[in-house]
Amino acid sequence: MKKVALIGSTGSIGKQTLSVVRRNSDKFQIVSLAGGNNVGDFLEQVKEFKPKVATLASPLSDTSQIPSQTEFFSGEDAFVNAIIDEADIVVVALVGFKGIISVLDAINKGKDIALANKESLVVGGGLVMQKAKEKGINITPIDSEHSAVWQALNFDFNAPFNKIILTASGGAFRDRTKEEMPFLTAKDALLHPNWKMGAKITIDCATLVNKAFEVIEAKWLYNTTFDKIDVIIHRESIIHSMVELNDKAVIAQMSYPDMELPIALALSYPERVESNIKSLDFGALQKLTFEKVDHDRFPCFKLVLDSAQSGCLYPAVANGANEQAVQMFLQGKIAYTDIYKGIYGALMGFEGSHHMHFEDLVEADAFARRYVKEFFGV
């Protein structure tokens, strides 16, 4: 029985993780849950899984529904209490910068990590991977692209390869013209063509910021360089990513898009457990298509990648600015095309420090958020 601490239980990945655990209750047990702001769902989860520890970001005045055997904490920072000694593995499914707090905490406590929070590697990949190596921590990817690469490499993070080829659906705006883009709303963006996901990542898909983040994530997970990572638009989201090996053989991992597959694998590898995904019907699919990234329509992709090439704290600035801008776009305060302007402005306005401690990341993140708020005057 693998004991799981789930950080971010009320988000999209959190709920799908619980569905994997529910279906494989002979293999996995939830020992702690950290929920966000969805109180109703959180209480249901706690009642069902009866964890030893449960934490909720929202304040909760009436705790009568928390089972007596569950130790309960609430407040914005309560999630730090959820990585408990009993856990064998920590699923980090928080959205955004704060995920790095749980990642570093899990590493310090010697826990393996199933990682859905890509921002932690975007902002502090060097720090995270170095500490994980020192402590002998396994970080298994939940992100579907990185899971595909991992599978193609036979679960060997050090296997040699020529090239990683990350696939991208292209996001909700893949067929929109440049002229339409300033007028597109959050509602338009939230209609993702292939994947059911949380709001923040769905917007990141619509700007291709998510794909730039995933290139950075792949660089750290597979200890490689940016020139060995390609991105190709693949509308059908059937190939989740590919690896070209040294002899030019290309290994692809395919399935209908469903996050439960990579979640289950991150928890159970090298064993595979049953999933409820349908078998691929190639006759019905008929064809798989591939296109190059259109940098003219999706300038955020290169902007974020350039920030990562600059290194140091620039990716943390890009991430912080993006988080702030996406939040404002979701609230209808700025336009879709303003997300680029916010990230660009923050990167230009940042006076780079070369330090890379956790506190420096926090500072760079705060700078970027402040910059974007002031830039748009909201």
Q: Which is nearer to Mg ion, 45 or 140 (CB)?
A: 140
- Shortest Å, Cβ 148 to Mg ion: 9
To 10 degrees, the CA torsion angle through 241, 242, 243, 247? -170
Q: Among 74-82, 139-147, 177-185, 218-226, which window interacts with Mg ion (CB under 5 A)?
A: 139-147
Tell me whether residue 72 or residue 195 sits nearer to Mg ion (CB atom).
195
Applying the rule CB under 5 A, the residues between 236 and 265 that interact with Mg ion are: none
**Measured torsion, CA atoms of residues 317, 163, 113, 41, in degrees rounded to the nearest 10:** 70
Instruction: Find the shortest distance in angstroms from Cβ 215 to Mg ion.
Output: 11
**Which residue, 55 or 117, is less far from Mg ion as judged by CB?**
117
Closest contact distance (angstroms) between CB of 210 and Mg ion is 7
Smaller CB distance to Mg ion: residue 38 or 144? 144
The radius of gyration of the chain's CA atoms, rounded to the nearest angstrom, is: 20
Question: Which residue stretch of 99-107, 141-149, 159-167, 174-182 sits at the interface with Mg ion (rule: CB under 5 A)?
Answer: 141-149
Piece of 138-146, 216-224, 314-322, 361-369 that binds Mg ion (CB under 5 A):
138-146
Rounded CA gap, 23 and 92, in Å?
20
Round to whole Å and give the CA distance between 316 and 128: 13
- C-alpha–C-alpha distance, residues 372 and 374, integer Å: 5
Number of residues that bind Mg ion (CB under 5 A): 3
Residue 143 within binding range of Mg ion, rule CB under 5 A? yes
Minimum distance from CB of 116 to Mg ion (Å)?
A: 9
Which of these segments, 66-74, 140-148, 186-194, 296-304, binds Mg ion (CB under 5 A)? 140-148
DSSP strands (E only) in the chain: 2-7, 28-35, 53-56, 71-74, 89-92, 112-115, 139-141, 163-168, 229-233, 239-244, 250-254
Nearer to Mg ion, 105 or 214 (CB): 214
- Quote the least distance from Cβ 88 to Mg ion, whole Å: 25
- 226 SS3 class: helix
- Residue closer to Mg ion by CB (options 46, 197) is 197
Q: Which is nearer to Mg ion, 145 or 365 (CB)?
A: 145
Kindly state whether residue 119 participates in binding Mg ion, applying the rule CB under 5 A. no
User: Which amino acid makes up residue 228?
Assistant: K
Would you tell me the crossing angle of helices 209-221 and 314-330 to the nearest 10 degrees?
A: 150
Q: How far apart are CA 280 and CA 9, in angstroms?
A: 29
217 binds Mg ion (CB under 5 A): no
Give the nearest distance from C-beta 214 to Mg ion in angstroms.
Answer: 6
Could you give the CA distance from residue 316 to residue 339 in angstroms, rounded to a whole number?
A: 16
CB of 144 to Mg ion, least distance (A): 5
What residues are paired with 229 via a beta bridge?
164
Handedness of CA 335, 124, 214, 93 (dihedral sign): negative
For residue 320, the minimal CB distance to Mg ion (Å) is 20
Nearer to Mg ion, 90 or 116 (CB): 116
Peptide bond into 141 cis (omega under 30): no
Residues that bind Mg ion (CB under 5 A): 143-145
